[in-house]
Each structure stands twice: as structure tokens, then as C-alpha cells.
Amino acid sequence: MDRVNATTPSASSADDPARAAFTALRTPEGEQLLAELRDHDPADELATATRLRRAHPAELVSAALGQARLRQRAVAKFGAEDAYRMYFTPNGVEQATRTSVAAHRAARFAGLGVRSVADLCCGIGGDAIALARAGISVLAVDRDPLTAEVARANAQALGLADLIEVRCADVTEIDTAPYDAVFVDPARRGGRGRIFDPEAYSPPLSWATAAALKAPRAALKIAPGIPHEAIGPEAEAEWISDGGDVKEAVLWYGAGFTPGAFRATLLPSGATLSAPAPLPAPPVGPVGRYLYEPDGAVIRAHLVADLVERCGGRLVDETIAYITSDEPYSSPYVAGYEITDELPFSMKRLKALLRERQIGVLTVKKRGSAVEPEELRRRMKLSGPGSATVFLTRVAGAPTMLIGHPLG
């Protein structure tokens, strides 16, 4: 089932096969099956199903196999220790916040003295779990009955039921006045896939913003690709990357946050770069000895100009987020490279240079180029003990290849 507020609750689990299957999974027999399937290989699923159906009802075996697959997928977000104790729905795994990001958000709330949060559109409970582990009591609300049951089961499985109250209700009908803060995670997927229009979220961003502005403090989880013009001046906007991949954006409201500020946070280090307002466009100039690739959260937050100023550098092109300088610069917000060659784009010239230098391992990075890295590597026919990095980009508007190696 989709975790969408428009969903109408059903009367009981008996009326809903998915809820009935989930209820069966929480019986001793269901739990035994899940424990047995913890490390099963999905490639052997047919044989496993055939074997298990000799001793268990077919419906229960199918439900257990489906849940086992979801738990395996969830390890990447929740870690094995939690994932194999928790329960999931397909959309719940897809939409849930990974533990590292949820813990960062919970820590910001806790650091401001927040002791209670209304978690609206709670999904399977990923954020509620992080908030509870930070010592915050949580009202977790979702309108989908199965999703609410899964969230409740997860709170119990992780020993957090005393801090997390799960309620199946329409979030637009919840009185959030008794809570120190509000967290809203609107559904951004529909029947046709990912939703890009913030007003097509469920609930719409405008409703979520209005709810946030009524609370002493609030956070709205949004897609990292949200247009900056869709962000109101009352919000502090934060983009979060984890391990170099941009995971989400959050709009913060209320005491302790800076309206109009943009922030980039890098996990797991927790390094944070912020600016109270956008800086002027940075200078553009020739490629120097060093090239810097900003973290994706810095780019999304429009803070590249801040890094250009810090390193005393310049952009290689006014439309490309590559920074260059003549002196080395170290920062957690960039990956640095020493550039040895700058060439006009040419497959033939690149192949000859790589052959001459006996490059057998080539890292291909691109920004502003239509060339696919895998296709380029295939055409290079690499051989040799050396390694290199090639950047396919534009320099002053011209297609260019920059060749070098990582600093350090």
C-alpha cells in the first residue's frame, strides 16, 4: 500500500489481506519463519518456498518470504541489527529515512531542548525511532492502517513503545499544539512513481508549511531537487549527504534556526557549511594546477561560491560546479585532484595518451558532458599498471578533458 494521506482506513485487518498477512507474521510461527529466512538467498526462493510449504500455510510462507526480502533491502538504511528485527512494506523501505540522516535530524531537535514531537506521515517509523532514541517522546501518525501497524510493531520490536505512540489518522486532523515540535514527511510517490511538484505531495507542501509555522519548531522532509524558489523565506534549508550521496533536504522552522539560510551537512562526519544568504556569482577563469569537486549537498544548497571564496579559486565554467586553484586546498566539502593535462575533447587523443602512460584503471567523472563513462572506458581498451582520473566537462564553454589524480 502507498503511504498516502488520501488512503481511507479499512475497518479491520480481516477486511484487508495485506494486514491479515502481517498479523500472521507476528505469531510465533511467523517469527520462526522470519528467523529461518534471515540469510536465505533470493535466487533459491522457489526451492525454499516449496520446502517451507510442506510445514507451513502457503499464505504465511509467501508473506514471510516477502518480508525477508524487504529486510534484506532495509539493511542498507537501517543496519543489520535493526533491519532484521523490524518490519517493512515495499513503500516503507523505499521512502524511509536512513538511520544516519534520521539520527542527525533528531540530534538537532534534542540539542534545542525538544522533548516531544508530532511525527506526521510517519511511515514505518524510521524517524520516530531516531527521535525516541534521542530521548524524545513521539506521536507517530499515518493514515494507512497497515503502515501504522508496521510502525507500532517496529516501536515494540526495538524496545521504544514507551516513547512512541502510533495513531492511525488523517494528519490534517491532528492537534499538534501539545508538542514541542512537528515533523512532516509528505509522501512523494504516487501510482506513477516519484512526484516532483511539491504541491502534489500528500499532504501538499503548502499545508505542511502552514502546519510547521504554527509550531514552536518544525522540520519538513522534502526532495533534494526542490527548486529554491519553492522554499519560503521563513525556513532554514538544509541538504544532507551521506557517504557522498545527497539523500534529502529538510526545511527547519522556529526558534534556533536561521530563516533564509542555506546549509549543507555531510555525514557521517557531521561537517556543516552554511551561509545566511546566497553569495554573488563566483569568478570564472583558466584551469589551474588543482581541481575540486564539491559534495553534492554543497551544490544543491548553492554554496559553491562560498567554497570558491574560501580557497581563493575560481570556476572552470560559469555553469559547471568544478572549482580550480593554483594552490592546494583541503576541505571536507570537496574532493581534490591535481591536474596534469588539459585537452580539447577527443576520444582519439585520450586513447593515445592513456596508452602512452599505460593507464589500466581509469576513473571517469563528468559534468556538462553527454558522454557515458562506461562507454568511454570500453572504447579506451585500457591496459597497464597505471591509474588516472579524467574529467569530461566544459571549460569556458568548450568541451574539455582534464586528466589528473586524487590529492593525498
Longest Cα–Cα distance in the chain:
72
pLDDT of residue 230: 87
Q: Which residue, chain included where needed, has cell 514507551?
A: 162
Is residue 260 a contact partner of residue 276, using CB atoms and an 8 Å limit?
A: yes
**Mean predicted confidence (pLDDT) in 42-58:** 90
Cβ neighbours of 224 (radius 10 Å): 17
pLDDT of residue 159: 97
**Mean predicted confidence (pLDDT) in 344-368:** 95
pLDDT of residue 204: 85
pLDDT of residue 9: 41
pLDDT of residue 160: 98
Task: Provide the residue type at 147 as one letter.
Answer: T
Can you tell me the distance from the alpha carbon of 364 to that of 377, in angstroms, rounded to the nearest whole number? 8
Is residue 125 a contact partner of residue 95, using CB atoms and an 8 Å limit?
A: no
Can you tell me the distance from the alpha carbon of 66 to that of 219, in angstroms, rounded to the nearest whole number? 33
Provide the percentage of residues in the chain whose pLDDT is more than 90: 82
Strands 320-325 and 290-294, sheet pairing:
antiparallel
Can you tell me the distance from the alpha carbon of 118 to that of 136, in angstroms, rounded to the nearest whole number? 10
Name residues whose C-beta falls within 8 Å of residue 184's C-beta, 6 or more positions apart in sequence.
120, 121, 171, 203, 208, 211, 212, 218, 219, 220, 221
Answer whether residue 384 shows pLDDT above 50: yes
Can you tell me the distance from the alpha carbon of 109 to that of 184, in angstroms, rounded to the nearest whole number? 14
Highest mean pLDDT among 12-26, 35-49, 338-352: 338-352
Per-residue pLDDT tens digits for 208-259: 999 999 999 999 999 898 888 889 999 999 999 999 999 999 999 999 999 9
Per-residue pLDDT tens digits for 68-126: 999 999 999 999 999 999 999 998 998 899 999 999 999 999 999 999 999 999 999 99
Per-residue pLDDT tens digits for 288-322: 999 999 999 999 999 999 999 999 999 999 999 99
**Mean predicted confidence (pLDDT) in 34-54:** 90
**Mean predicted confidence (pLDDT) in 355-363:** 95
Answer whether residue 201 shows pLDDT above 80: no
Sorting pLDDT into bands at 50, 70 and 90, what band is 14? low
pLDDT of residue 18: 87
For the chain, report the end-to-end CA distance as a whole number of angstroms: 48
pLDDT of residue 87: 97
**Mean predicted confidence (pLDDT) in 40-49:** 89
Q: Residue 168: in which H helix or E strand, if any?
A: strand 164-168
Sorting pLDDT into bands at 50, 70 and 90, what band is 187? confident
DSSP string, 184-204: E--B-EETTEE---GGGSBS-
Answer whether residue 2 shows pLDDT above 60: no
**Mean predicted confidence (pLDDT) in 373-387:** 92
Sorting pLDDT into bands at 50, 70 and 90, what band is 200? confident
Provide the percentage of residues in the chain whose pLDDT is more than 70: 95
Name residues whose C-beta falls within 8 Å of residue 256's C-beta, 6 or more positions apart in sequence.
112, 217
Task: Provide the residue type at 401 as one letter.
Answer: M
Answer whether residue 7 shows pLDDT above 50: no
Is residue 120 a contact partner of residue 141, using CB atoms and an 8 Å limit?
A: yes
**Mean predicted confidence (pLDDT) in 325-329:** 94
Answer whether residue 191 shows pLDDT above 80: no
Helix (H, G, I), strand (E, B) or coil at 262: strand
Mean pLDDT of the chain: 91
Answer whether residue 22 shows pLDDT above 80: yes
Is residue 179 a contact partner of residue 140, using CB atoms and an 8 Å limit?
A: no
Is residue 300 a contact partner of residue 246, using CB atoms and an 8 Å limit?
A: yes
Which is nearest to 392 in space by CA: 351, 326, 342, 318?
A: 342
Sorting pLDDT into bands at 50, 70 and 90, what band is 155? very high
Cβ neighbours of 318 (radius 10 Å): 12
**Mean predicted confidence (pLDDT) in 187-210:** 76
